[in-house]
Amino acid sequence: TQQSIMQQERLRALGQMASGIAHDINNAISPVALYTESLLETEKNLSTKGRNYLEVISRAIDDVAATVARMREFYRQRAPQLTLSPVNVNSLVQQVIDLTRARWSDMPQQRGIVISVQTEFALDLPDIMGVHGEIREALTNLIFNAVDAMPEGGTLTLRTSVVQDLLKSTKEVILKQVCIDVCDTGIGMSDDTRRRCLEPFFTTKGERGTGLGLAMVYGMIERHSAHIEILTEIGKGTTMRMSFLVPTTASSVSHSPAPDIIPTQR
């Protein structure tokens, strides 16, 4: 349609701008990253306070670097065939929690609010097939959105679970889905926001928003043939659930062909 062509055009123009900005930011943060790391590693007489500050700076730099990588990745034409590898979702979630700590712990505390983080990890979670970096970026975006939705503080819950895919399972082949839930106790979404939030450039955050976070999440979801569900209630909070089909292994299915897990191309 006319509208989607225009969106493509805007994306392309923005892509060029974004990669220019990404380049400049990278150059600017390189020395900061270098000297912070070098102080943390070599300076033996740092005070606890000094060390804590440097660690916060170091995590903030990681965030900036991740954002820059996202800016680059989001617009770059993806390689036609994604290389999928086994991903342990529990450890990926834990990794993202550590990487995003500055955003849900340190920054809110500076503003005098508290965001507590809970994890509920399913035991015996099977690996999924995916692109580790893409899923990590998507999860980071969901966590940032959850934090933004809790300006007065609240609870962020990260939960993993495994369920049987009732639609795709047959008598012979039981297919499973691994779910990652990101739940917040924040402001929730109106019906209109819920409907439109995955669209590129849709934001309710004014100047502070780009409207690209969830569009990026959705791109990852599509490339992984995964699903995203949004449960939300105004004033109560939001749960974003990503679910990934688990490939069946030869031992669990002896005579059936493996399910088609090649991600759809856009």
Should residue 215 be labelled a site residue for ligand ADP when binding is judged by CB under 6 A? Answer: yes
Which one of 61, 68, 143, 149 is in contact with ligand ADP (CB under 6 A)?
149
Residue with tokens 């955003």: 103
Contact call for residues 235 and 188 (beta carbons, < 8 A):
yes
Q: Which amino acid is at 231?
A: L
Nearer to ligand ADP, 188 or 259 (CB): 188
Should residue 139 be labelled a site residue for ligand ADP when binding is judged by CB under 6 A? Answer: no
Residue with tokens 């991740």: 66
Contact call for residues 184 and 101 (beta carbons, < 8 A):
no
Which one of 210, 222, 259, 261 is in contact with ligand ADP (CB under 6 A)?
210
Binders of ligand ADP in range 226-245 (CB under 6 A): 238
Q: Which stretch binds ligand ADP (CB under 6 A): 11-19, 75-83, 167-175, 207-215?
A: 207-215
Should residue 187 be labelled a site residue for ligand ADP when binding is judged by CB under 6 A? Answer: yes
Which H helix or E strand runs over 54? helix 48-75
Q: Which stretch binds ligand ADP (CB under 6 A): 66-74, 101-109, 179-187, 247-255?
A: 179-187
Should residue 204 be labelled a site residue for ligand ADP when binding is judged by CB under 6 A? Answer: yes
How far CA 100 is from CA of 12, 117, 119, 141, in Å, comes to 29, 11, 14, 10
Rounded CA separation 211/205 (Å): 8
Q: How many residues bind ligand ADP (CB under 6 A)?
A: 23
Which one of 101, 122, 127, 211 is in contact with ligand ADP (CB under 6 A)?
211
Rounded CA separation 45/210 (Å): 42
Should residue 184 be labelled a site residue for ligand ADP when binding is judged by CB under 6 A? Answer: yes
Rounded CA separation 219/82 (Å): 13
Rounded CA separation 248/256 (Å): 9
Which one of 153, 209, 222, 241 is in contact with ligand ADP (CB under 6 A)?
209
Helices (H), 76-128: 89-99, 101, 107-110
Which one of 128, 189, 221, 245 is in contact with ligand ADP (CB under 6 A)?
189
Residue 239 C-beta: closest distance to ligand ADP, Å = 8
Q: Under the rule (CB under 6 A), what is the footprint of ligand ADP?
A: 141, 145-146, 149, 184, 186-189, 193, 197, 202-205, 209-215, 238
